[in-house]
Structure 1
Amino acid sequence: MDLSRRSLLIASVGTGAASLPFAAQASSSSRTSTSASDPFTLGVASGDPTADGVVLWTRLATDPLHESGLGGMPSRPVAVRYEVATDEQFRHVVRRGAVTARPESAHSVHVELTGLLAGREYFYRFRTDRHLSPTGRTRTTPAAHEMASALTMAFASCSQYEHGWFTAYRRLAEDEPGLVLHLGDYQYEYKAGVYQGRGGNVRDHAGPETVDLASYRQRHAQYKADPDLQAAHAVAPWLVVFDDHEIDNNWAADVPENTKPDEGNDSTARFLARRRAAFQAYYENMPLRRASIPSSDGIKIYRRSTWGRLATFHMMDTRQYRDDQACGDGWKPNCDARLDESRTITGPLQERWLLDGFRASRAQWDVLGQQVFFAEKDRNASAEVTDVSMDGWDGYAASRRRITQGWVDAGVRNPVVLTGDVHRSWANDLKVDYRDPDAPVVGSELVCTSITSTGDGDGSTTEPTMAINPHLKYYNDDRGYVRTRITPRSMTADFRAVTTVATPGASVATRASFELLDGQRGLQRRL
């Protein structure tokens, strides 16, 4: 069922006056005034909800941009208390507890709550000494047997700090979703000015290119300190997965983008050390469960989350276990290596996990939360020549076919793939065989544009590959996110775009809406 919604409040937080949900407030009635010693400069977050619990997160930092990556905190443990209530005034507190924020974890806190009621809204906050954090809102999922009447879910990706203001995150928060999926490129690794957005960069990264633990921690803190991003985290629980820029552009397993010594990529050993640092910082800064604590072997980020019987979210990792990109990466014509049956973008264990999940699913909707373009997108009109991207599923054609055929064979009721990465909005129908024009549609893909990456769009709604690939149904080059409403009968996807990211405070509008109907294949345009 839909959870309660509240009237929006007018408040001023960071970038100027805006219409905000409760969670974006920083009012004196709910917390102490911000000062130079305030340790809650990075906000609060929740994630990975279950029917009886959720992960609560914060990280203490009095100086987020400190070059040590430790946020200006002392090199000693700090006691942190938390409260969970059924009301935002905290008159009805249902959980209290204390945890320790430790310097070896950059004073991050992960509280895994259990014993809460299913399908309920809760409010939470943290306290240390005299300092009180902002309030966050979260919720538990419906019970496993319950068919929820509706879920509003938003998903986003690709927020390059230098390329624009995070207004789209604030507008997402104002939509007050019940769940948020982030599909990767939450932060970017470059030092200031290296990656230029369209029209130039509007603000700068602090610190060097992220190659070690200190620099990754510093970069995460710079992003987390943004008030618009904090508003989106505080409004609902998140399910997160990383893509490439959280570590290094277009990395694949133990293979970096390049072999530059100053980027820590000149040997496998050095790149794996860089990767371990990035994984550690990612865990420290995300509301993830203990199951995702990194080890020397990597980080377990693929996992499954259910929303009662309404939806199952299969959150995937298409970076850590993939084969290296074929034919040298990039867009390549007639790369036969991409068709190799042994090539995988998921790795064999994750592929088996996913196919087993399809067979076991009894959900109304099975949603794949993943990173890179899934549908075939061929830039060459010739039937004898293909020109496709090696970094997306086109570079792993057999892997894509196995996954797609897997949901067909399992009789998945309503399969939907969610995608980020490409900085443009797309809506695509999916097939098992894209070479056969008469092959049936077996699912659909919704691709969110970026929050800021590449800077302001040009508003275009056509792209040359659409004429060559008739299963590509929609395109838009603007910045924003996708808002969905999932019910037992349908899933509606609203492609939301802001007017600009070059200046803060832009308005948002729905540029297009598509509907998927229960038991039917193919996107239906509604707006």
Structure 2
Amino acid sequence: MRFDHGVASGDPLSDRVMLWTRVTPEADGDVPVTLTVATDQAMLQPVAVYMSTATEDGDYCVKIDADGLQPDHWYYYQFSVGGERSPVGRTRTFPASGSFIDRARFAVVSCANYPYGFFSVYRAVAEHADLDFVLHLGDYLYEYGPGEYGDFPERDPLPPQEMVTLADYRQRHAQYKTDDDLQALHQQFPMIAVWDDHESTDNSYRDGAENHQPLTEGDWEARKAVSQQAYFEWLPIRPREPGNYSVIYRQFQYGDLIDLTMLDTRLEGRDEQLTVPLDPARNSEDRHLISADQMDFLLDSLSQSNAQWRFIGQQVMFGQLNIAELPSLTEDQAQLRSNLSAINMDQWDGYAADRLKILNHIDDNNIDNVVVLTGDIHTSWASEIYRNPSSLLGDLFDKPLAAEFVTPAVTSPGFPDGAAELAGILIPVVNPHIRYVEAKSRGFILVDVTRARAQAEFYYAQSIESFDLRGQIDNSKTKVVSVKSGDSRLIEDGPVSRPRTLRTAFNYPPLPLNAVTVNEVLS
């Protein structure tokens, strides 16, 4: 019996957290599994023991909602089957709702395509030992077959074809979970995750996908359902009810400092994307990116929040992107316009009425300190959010309604050389609400939140191609952007935040498996 896919934790609340592993069985049949939670890394001070069963129907994944825990505590956990034990993982509960909290630190990641290179960014996040949690905003994996989207040596995707069936999705999740750097990330921190399109297939929406051919790949609803099932099996996510794999939007409270609302802007309520850039139909009130139920959930969470900060974690770029005024005189400029046109209608720009409804709600209810966190487009952005940022004599002289930070990719490619550099120069000129664009480097955002400000620190990996440079940061590229409480205007190039290693330090690399069995500890 082995634990080839490591351990993971996620969806932390003040009294519980989801704990995950996958048993690699020696033969078919149910496998009894024991989970021990302790207050020390050596697992000598257990506080709870849980029993579960790994079954073939669940692909031998084990998920336990470890409850009865204390708020704002770090815990260690370990699974065992007989005498075999998993690695020891570390997790934490969130502070109790309403309790005074002065600081939070977390990382934001997205877009990790296995065949494009090493998960150096995950390694870099794992080595920030003082983070409270990790936010994954989608494209945890990709659906393509070998050579279709990335061809890094010895990282061909499994199965060796596009994933369509439940077995395909499970095998691809299993391959990703064998990556040492992803395992290190999961082993260190609880993760709050949502899917984007590639967990099912490219440019998916409620009723279909650009990369789904019904004649050869079957019924879309069936494919969507098995992709969601595999995602819930292999990620430490708490389902709303047993067997419900379709609803992933939810909310988390980090004391009185942060209310975090996670959205599903991909599969739950999205109408099909428009195909023509800046199609006037994008303004139709009949076009939706999220369902009416999810919209009500979001608006209620914003207006009912008593936290200092209201964060929205979601998949696609929220802020407006004006591409009509970008020049296209040179080959690089034409490439830039082509790249932007290809992504624009997949974003909130393609569903403008839904965005306006949210912005009107924020303005009408005098809701402050709203920060949108976004993934999807493999590039870095920092924007002030207005109703109509193209009106130089209007909104831009008012206080922004929110701020948005878009995280770069873990490995997936951004704009090509030339077009990437132009993007950083030209886009803010014709989009003055967009204050920062970095269009090709892989990395992550470290978000440091105090009662006075929310700060996004963009960190970039030195390389995703060198095994020896995994986890190394190119400090020359680091960018700091922040917003003050009560004013969502962006402030650039302040100092990076101070780490909190004394509070949440964790031995890294993790200690080897201890030689003490669960029964010996409890006896």
1:161-185 Cα offsets, whole Å, 9 max, x none, are 0001001101101112111110000
Deviation of 1:412 (Å):
2.3
Is contact 1:456–1:500 with CA below 8 Å preserved after alignment? no
The aligned runs of 1:206-245 (5 Å cut-off) are 206-207=158-159, 208-245=161-198
Contact 1:363 1:413 in 2 (8 A): no
Q: Verify: 1:186 aligned to 2:140, yes or no.
A: yes
Q: Hey, what's the Cα distance between the residues in 2 that align with 1:263 and 1:211?
A: 10
Q: Secondary structure at the match of 2:466?
A: coil
Match of 1:449 in 2: 408
1:21-420 to structure 2, matched below 5 A, reads 38-61=1-24, 74-176=27-129, 177-196=131-150, 203-207=155-159, 208-258=161-211, 260-261=213-214, 264=217, 270-291=219-240, 293-295=242-244, 299-328=246-275, 332-381=276-325, 389-420=344-375
Task: Measure how far apart 1:292 and its partner are.
Answer: 6.0
Distance 2:212 2:172 in 1: 22
Counterpart CA distance in 2 for 1:201 and 1:396 is 39
CA deviation digits over 1:191-213, x for unaligned, max 9?
1111137xx66621121211000
Could you list the runs of 5+ residues in structure 1 that have no partner in the other structure?
A: 1-37, 63-72
Secondary structure at the counterpart of residue 211 of structure 1: coil
Q: Measure how far apart 1:455 and its partner are.
A: 7.7
Q: Following TM superposition, by how much is the alpha carbon of 1:256 offset from its aligned partner in structure 2, in angstroms?
A: 1.8
Cα distance between partner residues in 1 of 2:408 and 2:184? 20
RMSD: 2.2
1:429-470 residue CA offsets vs partner (Å, 9 max, x unmatched) = 111223422203111100000000128985847153222111
**One-letter amino acid matched to 1:215:** D
Distance 2:323 2:243 in 1: 39
- Say whether the 8 Å CA contact 1:76–1:102 is kept in structure 2: yes
2: distance between equivalents of 1:322 and 1:83? 39
Deviations 1:261-307, CA, capped at 9 Å, x for gaps: 57615xxxx11111111011000001111316544xx5110000010
Tell me which stretches of 4 or more aligned residues in structure 1 moved more than 6 Å: none
1:505 Cα deviation from its structure 2 partner: 3.5
CA distance in 2, matches of 1:380, 1:160: 31
State how far apart, in whole Å, the 2-side matches of 1:490 and 1:367 are: 13
Code of the residue aligned with 1:508 in structure 2: it is I
Cα distance in 2 between the residues matched to 1:219 and 1:89 = 32
Matched with 2:498 is none
Give the aligned residue type for 2:437: Y
Tell me the amino acid that sits aligned with residue 261 of structure 2: H
What are the Cα deviations for residues 133-172 of structure 1, in whole angstroms up to 9, with x where unaligned? 1111111111112121211111100000000100110110
Q: Secondary structure at the match of 2:204?
A: coil
| SS in structure 2 of the partner of residue 462 of structure 1 | helix
2: distance between equivalents of 1:371 and 1:399? 15
Look up the equivalent residue of 2:112 and give its one-letter code.
S
Structure 2: which 5+ residue stretches go unaligned?
328-339, 495-523
Q: Secondary structure at the match of 1:523?
A: strand
Q: Do 1:293 and 1:300's aligned partners in 2 also have CA atoms closer than 8 Å?
A: no
Classify 1:113/1:414 alpha carbon distance in 2 versus 1 (closer, same or farther; 3 Å): same
Distance 1:504 1:351, change over 3 A: same
Quote the Cα distance in structure 2 between the aligned partners of 1:427 and 1:232: 25
Aligned residues: 468
Aligned to 2:473: 508
CA distance in 2, matches of 1:518, 1:434: 21
Give SS of 2:285's match. coil
Give me the whole-angstrom Cα distance separating, in 1, the residues matched to 2:116 and 2:9: 26
Equivalent residue number for residue 380 of structure 2:
425
TM-score (norm 1): 0.85
Partner of 2:509: none
Q: Distance in 1 between matches of 2:154 and 2:442?
A: 15
Q: Letter of the 2:492 partner, please give it.
A: R
Deviation by residue 1:55-102 (Cα, 9 ceiling, x = unmatched): 11111136xxxxxxxxxx532110111111111111211011211111
Distance 1:120 1:375 in 2: 36
Q: 2:426 — aligned with what? A: 464
Is contact 1:358-1:410 (8 Å) kept? no
In 1, Cα distance between equivalents of 2:233 and 2:200 = 14
C-alpha distance 262-326 of structure 1, shift in aligned 2 (>3 A): closer
| SS of the residue 1:467 aligns to | helix
Give 1:260 deviation, angstroms: 2.6
- Per-residue CA distance 1:307-336 (angstroms, 9 max, x = gap): 0110011000001233433432xxx34401
Rounded to whole Å, the distance in 1 between the matches of 2:456 and 2:353 is: 29
In the alignment, what sits opposite 1:520?
487
Counterpart-to-counterpart distance in 2, 1:455 and 1:218 = 27
* Partner secondary structure for residue 291 of structure 1: coil
Do the aligned residues in 2 keep the contact of 1:325 with 1:395 (CA within 8 Å)? no
Which whole-Å CA distance do the structure 2 matches of 1:502 and 1:113 have between them? 38
Any conservation in 2 of the 1:59–1:107 contact (CA below 8 Å)? yes
* Cα separation, partners in 2 of 1:135 and 1:462, compared to 1, 3 Å: same
3-state DSSP class of the match of 1:40? coil
Distance in 1 (alpha carbons) for counterparts of 2:110 and 2:195: 9
Bigger helix share: 2
Distance 1:262 1:76, change over 3 A: farther
Secondary structure of residue in 1 paired with 2:274: helix
Distance of 1:139 and 1:406 partners within structure 2: 33
After TM superposition, the score normalised by the length of structure 2 is 0.85
Q: One-letter code of the match for 2:424?
A: T
Q: Does the Cα contact within 8 Å between 1:86 and 1:121 map onto a contact in 2?
A: yes
Letter in 1 for 2:24: A
From the superposition, tell whether residues 513 and 292 of structure 1 become closer, same or farther in structure 2 (CA, over 3 Å). Answer: farther
